[in-house]
Chain A
Amino acid sequence: MKKRTLLSGLLLSTVLAVPVAAQDNMDKLTNMQKTGATFTHIEQEGDRAEALRDIIQHIDVPDGFEVSLYAVVPDARSMSMAPQGTVLFAGTRKDKVWSIIDRDRNRVADEVKDFAPSITFDIPNGPCFSPDGFLYIAERNRILVFPAAEFFFESPDIAVGTVVAQGELIPPEEESFNHSARVCDIGPDGMLYVSLGQPYNVQPAEKLEMYDELGIGGIIRMNTDGTGREVYTRGVRNSVGQDFSPETGELWWTDNQVDGMGDDIPPGELNRQTEAGQHFGFPWTNARVEIPDYKDVPRPEGVSFVEPQLELTAHAADLGMRFYHDESFPEKYHGGIFWAQHGSWNRTTPVGARVMFTALDPETGDAMGAEVFADGWLNEDTGEYRGRPMDIEFLPDGSMLVSDDFAGAIWRIAYNPAPAE
């Protein structure tokens, strides 16, 4: 035992001697100093782009729609379009956020480079803009804000502020790699809404109270300066897609459900939240399916669980979603919701890797039923993925962008009906 202590002591002293390359530049940037950081540019032509364009022939979309490659973007995850429509920002589950620029507005990106390379990011999955142009980036355990990011992204050293400091979004002991891809949105109330997946398949009962208090396995909201944090949504397993209805201001979100109960249960979920604090059932239930681990754990008193709007194909992994509030798609899509199904990881027969759509009932505002909008990223003969759609965003012309973290691409789907003969 003594030998081991000595040994690790020696090892540690050598660790400490390693020059620290990954120094966080937050202090320098806050003081408007230069850091010497440089950009990583992603080649937009060549073999990689050609290989991606070869995938397009496999993608099925409804009549009149057309698929193209918008940009080559490694690991592209959640997206946010800047208010002026010049730059698209995409997060990753690694250490980069990408700026994707289409200066000539020909609907193909001209330039893709990393955003704020001076900053050491940690799973910066979720970018989101406020209407006045502040870019928020939700990481695994920190939230940063970049004022006027759409204009300042050209500098590697960029003005930055801290909304939630490192280690204060969740307790550092609760950090994991899985279920740590945050998404964020600014609500109609001007508050910042952030999803916090719980890190387990099903969380152990002894974590319930702490998680409930912090909103882990939920969605939290706060003022954009980080004050006034509260749990807005309870009973979530791991939501990686949310958007506010432009009609009602209600928050809708997707959820990913428990593994290991079989290929066909529990269903995926699309949820509609009508008031603050609602509980959606997890870990007691996923939709109407009871979770066996929680059969004997008392449910929260005086709480009724909100059922999902739609029960979706089990394990298809419903992720990023957006309301369609543009004009260029046909009427049936106006006001409806598009979302990405990332595809299953351990279902016997793989399912997903497609873009889904639901219209909303004009009377009740409820979702009317899921239909496939675009698919073909899953090779059904071999069960292998060609790509895995992760999030949906829209260009100023109303055409759709689909991020794909497997192929490393952003696809564009536009409505271009053939002219009448």
Chain B
Amino acid sequence: MADVKPRIKLDKKDVAKGGIIEVKTLVSHTMESGQRKDKDGKVIPRKILNKFTCDLNGKTIFSADIESAVSANPYFQFKIKPEETGTLTFTWIDDDGSKIQATEQIKVA
């Protein structure tokens, strides 16, 4: 899963204190729900990204516990009010324990 590159878009990377940054994320993943059956009638096992976190300098400021009712190629749009300059780390965790990760630098005046 290390080779999956998530798409991340911040509407701005530089804000005054108290300012809001809109974050959009999109990552390629089939999000196999565990509800489908293959052509032999066997259930295709569930395999989804079950957690998403957005950390600022190592501290989680937004996260989501994801279940199989989230569509494939999960898309999240949210807004943060960062209090300090630093590194935003976005992490998605798969049922099999593997991680997808990306970072963005932001500046807070």
Query: Are A and B bound to each other?
Result: no
**Interface residue ranges, A against B (CB under 8 Å):** none
